[in-house]
Amino acid sequence: MKASTGDKIFYGINYAIMAIAALTCLIPLLNILALSLSDSSAIMSGRVTLFPIDIQLDSYRMLIERTKVVTAFSNSLVITVGGTVLCMVFTVLAAYPLSRKYFYARKTITLAVVFTMLFSGGLIPSYLVVKSLGLINTYWALWLPGLVSVYNMMILRTFFEGIPEELVEASRMDGCGEMRLLLQVILPLSVPVIATLTLFYGVGFWNSFQNVLIYINDSNRMNLTVMVQQMIHSQSLQETASLSREEVDRLATPEGLKAAAVMVLVIPMLVVYPFIQKYFVKGIMIGSIKG
């Protein structure tokens, strides 16, 4: 069907708005990348914009050798992988029974769960509960309070409800129990929405900031997000890295080192996203609309 003049104008405006939105995200990222790769003299003179000048890797080398970025990166991986696996397992275990029409008190439990999206105990009661459980300064304090996201669980439940009942009945006739039905029939059909929710949980844990500051006291257990925030707010390079004044003047600038830290924080998500992108839109749409 040929687009009318009004449709072409509408599409043109949409493309222009999306292009502007994309540029507002891309330009700051390119500037940070350029700063992290440029020579210190070029950075100090303010000549670096979107492209690096006199490319060098001193900022990354010093970031690895003179800061705790490796430890913080490892902590972020542990927090992200452990939290994502736990959250996905329990989200599936919560969504599956609530998607079965024969599950007792299904509607009552669903209403009780949705109620938590509107009201919460607050920060202080949450901290007291975590402290009373002895979880302070452990990663369980980051994982357990948000073990199941109600929003993600409702998306997954809606997806499970949309799986044809005839397929479920045929599986039961072949002798499938509930667990086998879930593992061998339901989950293989749910790859798009599971990949999407895994991305949601993974990004959330990778970017954990407030909860880490509240519940983690040991600096050796801090994640990369907190370390980068502390570097950005530091007043001099000596506060963020074990460098002498001569090395600061000769090798790097605070802006270059901070830019390198930001790139180390951002790159893992940029690498992971393309592998999940093909499932992203499909998973959200199918999990949001029943049928």
Domain spans of the chain, in order of start: 1-56, 58-288
Average pLDDT estimate for 59-76: 85
| Residues 6 or more apart whose Cβ sits within 8 Å of residue 137 | 215, 216, 217, 218, 221
pLDDT tens digits, one per residue of 149-189: 888 898 888 888 888 888 878 877 777 778 888 888 888 88
Tell me the CA distances in angstroms from 68 to 63, 226, 238, 277, one per residue in order.
Answer: 8, 11, 13, 32
Average pLDDT estimate for 263-288: 71
End-to-end CA distance of the chain: 27
Superfamily of the domain at 58-288? MetI-like (1.10.3720.10)
Q: What is the pLDDT of residue 249?
A: 52
Average pLDDT, the chain: 82
pLDDT tens digits, one per residue of 35-55: 888 877 777 777 878 888 888
pLDDT at 247 over 80: no
Q: What is the pTM of this model?
A: 0.82
Phi-psi region of 54 (alpha: psi -120 to 50; beta: other; left: phi over 0): left
